[in-house]
Amino acid sequence: MTMPAGTPALRVAPMPADANFHGDIFGGWIMSQVDIAGAIPASRRARGRVATVAVNSFVFKQPVLIGDVVSFFATIERTGRTSITVSVEVYAQRNPDEEVIVKVTEASLTYVAVGPDRKPRELPPLG
């Protein structure tokens, strides 16, 4: 398997403190990283602060292991008046001697642009 073209929104190597006693990385850790990765293109599109309003879907396909380098690819799927829906695909690179790439997670999250008062605001026009 190969990773998608382009630059990941986020790339990180989980540490032993992020793992359970079997050596698998906690799902909650992955979820938080997915939320961070998804917020990056959302905040760029909103040109400011965004808040997560929904996790539309979240599928764990394979475990993430200590020693993996995890890449999060985030793509804006649609926008509304105040909202931005982002899909995030997560890949792990493992086994540095003979690198193996596996898709470990895919998710869809919705963010809303918020103003200084933390209330929804309209997205600025593109361009």
**CATH at 98:** 3.10.129.10
Cβ–Cβ under 8 Å, residues 104 and 92: yes
What pLDDT is attached to residue 39?
98
For the cut 80, the answer to whether the pLDDT of residue 28 exceeds it is yes
Is 2 contained in some domain? no
Is 109 contained in some domain? yes
Is 26 contained in some domain? yes
Residues in the chain: 127
What pLDDT is attached to residue 95?
87
Determine the structural domain holding residue 41 and report its residue range. Answer: 10-113
Instruction: Tell me the percentage of the chain whose pLDDT exceeds 90.
Output: 93
What pLDDT is attached to residue 75?
97
When pLDDT is cut at 50, 70 and 90, the band that residue 96 belongs to is confident
When pLDDT is cut at 50, 70 and 90, the band that residue 114 belongs to is very high
Is 1 contained in some domain? no
Is 15 contained in some domain? yes
Cβ–Cβ under 8 Å, residues 13 and 68: yes
Report the amino acid identity of residue 73.
F
How do residues 67-85 score in pLDDT, each as one tens digit?
A: 999 999 999 999 999 999 9
Q: Tell me the two tokens of residue 76.
A: 């804006």
Is 46 contained in some domain? yes
Is 5 contained in some domain? no
Mean pLDDT of 103-112: 98
Is 3 contained in some domain? no
Q: Quote the CA–CA distance of 100 and 79 in Å, as a whole number.
A: 35
Domain count across the chain: 1
